[in-house]
Structure formats: structure tokens, C-alpha cells
Amino acid sequence: MNFHPVILSGGSGTRLWPLSRAAMPKQLLALTEQRTLLQATVQRADAIQGARPPLLICNEAHRFIIQEQLTALGVGDAGIILEPTARNTAPAIALAALQIAQTEPDALMLVLPADHVIDDNAAFADCVQQALRTAAQGHLVTFGIVPSGPETGYGYIKQGQALDVATAPAAHAVAAFVEKPSLANAQQLLAEGGYTWNSGMFVFSARRYLEELRTHQPDMLAAVEHAWAAKTVDLGFIRPDNTAFAACPADSIDYAVMQVTRHAAVIPAAFGWSDVGSWASLWQIADKDAAGNAVIGDAFVADARNSYVRAEHRHVAVIGLDDVVVVETADAVLVMHRDKAQDVKRAIQFFEHNGRSEHLEHVKVYRPWGWYEGLDEGERFQVKRIMVKPGQKLSLQMHHHRAEHWIVVSGTAKVTVNGKEVLLCENQSTYIPLGLTHRLENPGKIPLHLIEVQSGAYLGEDDIVRFDDTYGRTGH
């Protein structure tokens, strides 16, 4: 049975700071394997019989990174819808439903968050096939994860009457949705039986989903339809109208549709699922040593138990500590008790309230043309390493407050300053005085690496005046 995978990639993943940040959230990171969570999700869906090209919903800041990760998978025919502003999952899924309904109103949609981990892909595929059969009968199907314990971090779904017992796993009508319970209530739900965790994954037809929105959330659907009618397309990205979408009520699919429809169904599932919602949950699914420690990267751990230790850039040593999380990155280190995994948000709030940027970007910042990495900074100077991909170029720009020196480390640089072009090779350099228009380009077939030394009164990334940009950007 054919279906359209719809991948939701709008989350920020702040609970996995300092690895996950606004510019590079957890779904774009390789946390459990060499592939990123997004790439694993796309490939998992694509491997199921009947899968059509995927449709991704993301925000504008991540569009080029997502496009690059899809290209690395060889998925060149994916559709990417840019959510103009965050309005939660119900409106985002409506955008996908409208796109699909243009040509196939009754087509089935498999809606998946981009940041989940699933161990048993074969069992997952079996559940999807059953969900497709159930959705083809007019139901809105969700997957309920068979609980492994009294978890308080998930909502629960109470199973009702079985809808189809001819094939396994059997689909059931949804009897009730239960909010995230206390520990005592979670234990009671497991003792009663018939309850599963709410996974946030769904299958239904585009037509049925839009009908449910029209019945239960008419204002939401109207706003999304207006945004969709005024959409534009550039560089392959679909852009719904920002003003119309901003007027849309914000709500999750759970509240807007699933908890009010009379056609909700649930399939109990056991395929090794995790939403990787915290460092504690990542420790739970990680490979561990005999002492229960999950150690990633260049780390030494002694006399420690049940801890998660991750070193990204430097050697990390943890001695004599139990039940801790230690995560090291180039510019930040997190050390906390594993039971406090949900409190990472307190650090994010501190950064926000004090005008800091450690929650927004890493030292290495990705751009559509490549990346740059901060190496050193001080009063009136800053040093960066820059990589430009073959055939790519930065915007034609100028700065009001800084001059720049560029030294080519490897590759070939085409530099344009006030209309004059020059080619630079390894160990050659150039100087761009303050106020002159300039552009950097890689005309070669290998990556261009160079060192940039900035000097001036103000060195912020917002000191850029763009005159022309291949990628249609107006900000930095």
C-alpha cells in the first residue's frame, strides 16, 4: 500500500544541550550512530514497502543542512516545506496534508518526528503496514509503545475495542488519552493493563486529517489554507505565506485532533523506541560497559557506575562518580546528576536572560556554502577557520566596522574586491579593507580552507550588508 512519509523536523532539542543547539538541534546530530537522527528516520521510512518520496517540515534556519543531509543519503526528490513560524504539530501536518492532497486527496501519510530512535526496523515496518490498512478504513492511527516501566515523561493511551484481530499487531479504538502521570499514577496504569505510551507517530489519509481539522479546528485550517494558497517556491523550498501562517492558532495534533475525533485508533507497538528526550534517555539506549557506563569519545572513566560520558573535542576523565552525565564540547561542558536530566532547561534560561549565545550555535557554524569555526578572539580581533565547498560562494557583501585578512591553507580561492578578481592558492593571502564590497568563492574541485583574521571596533556576524546572495539570504 503506497504512502507518503512526512517527517517533522522543527524541534529545538534543548534538553540535549550542549550538543543540541538552536542552529544544530538533536535531529541533525549523529547521537547513536554515524547517521543523524533525521537521516535514520528518512531511511527507516523509505525502506518500508510502498513508500513515496519523503516530505519534510522544518524551519528556515535548518533548510540547507537538511537538504545536504538528504543529498548525502541520495534522496534528491524529497519535498521540503519551510514552516514560517512555530505553530506546533497540528498546523505543520496540515501543510503536508495540503501538499499531498493537491494530487492525491486520499493518499495515506506516515507522520514521524525526525528525532526518534527505533531499534527493530522490521517490527516497525510491520506496525506501519497494519496502520496503513487501518487508516485506509477511515481511522486516524497512532502508535502506542508497550511500556517497559512506569514512565512519567510520556502521555498514555488507553486501548479500547479491537478493530482488527486478523493480523498482528491488532489495532484498537482509542478509549482515552491520559496526560503525563505522576509516578504513583503511572504504576497504577501499568497495573490495570491496556495502556501504552503516546509515541507521537501517526498514519491517516490527507483527506481525513483535513476533514477533522475542518470539523474541530476550522480557524486553524482556514489560516493554514490561506498560507498555503499564497505560498512561494525558491531553490526547491516551499514557503507558505508568513503573515497568514503567523495568524494560525498553535496546537499539537494530540489536542487539536486526536483527543477530539471519534475515529482515533492505536496500535500497540514494541520495536525498541525512544524519543531521546534527555541525556538520561540517551544513556538508557546506549551501549554500556560492565559498570553501566556509556562512554563516547576520548574519555577515561574509573570507579564510576551508571554514567554517561561524552567527549567531543578534548580528553575527559571521570573518577569516583556514579549516576552522572558529563558532556564536553568545544565551548561548553555539562556535568549533572542523571536524575536532573530534565533541568538542563535552567542553563538555557540562564543563557537567554544574560544575552549569551552558547545555546544558539556551536563554535563551528554551518552555512549553505560550508562552515566557519572560531579559533581565537580578543580586544578588536577575531580569528576564524573557514571551509567553502567546491563550486560554492559567499554573498557579495561589505562591513562597516571591520577589515579582514584571508590566508589560504588549501584549495583555490577566487576573491572579488570592489569588482576586481584575483585567484589565491595555498599560502597566499589578501587584505579586504573596511567598507569595500567583497566576495569569496571556491572555483576548484576540492574544499577550500582558509584562515580569516578580523580586526575592528565591532566583530559581530550582524555587521554584514549583502548586495547579492546565491541562497536568497538577507541575514547573516
CA–CA distance, 141 with 262 (Å, rounded to integer): 12
Q: What is the pLDDT of residue 163?
A: 87
23 in helix, strand or coil? coil
**C-alpha 11: how far from its chain's center?**
5
DSSP string, 29-64: S-SSSSS-HHHHHHHHHHTSTTB---EEEE-GGGHH
User: Which amino acid is present at 421?
Assistant: E
Which residues on neighbouring strands pair with residue 437, listed in sequence order? none
Start-end of CATH 3.90.550.10 domains in the chain: 3-274
Q: What is the pLDDT of residue 138?
A: 95
> pLDDT tens digit string along 185-229?
999 999 999 999 999 999 999 999 999 999 999 999 999 999 999
Q: What is the pLDDT of residue 12?
A: 80
Q: What is the pLDDT of residue 235?
A: 86
DSSP 343: G
Q: What is the pLDDT of residue 253?
A: 97
| CATH class of the domain at 364-468 | mainly beta
Start-end of CATH 2.60.120.10 domains in the chain: 364-468
Q: Please answer whether residues 207 and 101 qualify as being in contact, where contact means their C-beta atoms are separated by less than 8 angstroms.
A: yes
Query: Which cell goes with 284?
Result: 538508557
Helix residue ranges per DSSP H, 230-380: 242-246, 253, 279-285, 344-353
CA–CA distance, 462 with 349 (Å, rounded to integer): 23
> pLDDT tens digit string along 109-149?
999 999 999 999 999 999 999 999 999 999 999 999 999 99
Q: Please answer whether residues 135 and 141 qualify as being in contact, where contact means their C-beta atoms are separated by less than 8 angstroms.
A: yes
Low-confidence ranges of the chain (pLDDT < 50): 476
CA–CA distance, 145 with 282 (Å, rounded to integer): 17
| Residue in the block written with cell 588549501 | 410
> pLDDT tens digit string along 366-404?
999 999 999 999 999 999 999 999 999 999 999 999 999
Query: Which cell goes with 154?
Result: 510520556
CA–CA distance, 191 with 262 (Å, rounded to integer): 27
| Residue in the block written with cell 481539522 | 213
Cα separation values, 467 from 403, 405, 438, Å: 18, 21, 10
Q: Domain 3-274 belongs to what topology?
A: Spore Coat Polysaccharide Biosynthesis Protein SpsA; Chain A (3.90.550)
Characterise 51 by phi-psi region: left (phi > 0), alpha (psi -120 to 50), beta (else).
beta
Q: What is the pLDDT of residue 248?
A: 96
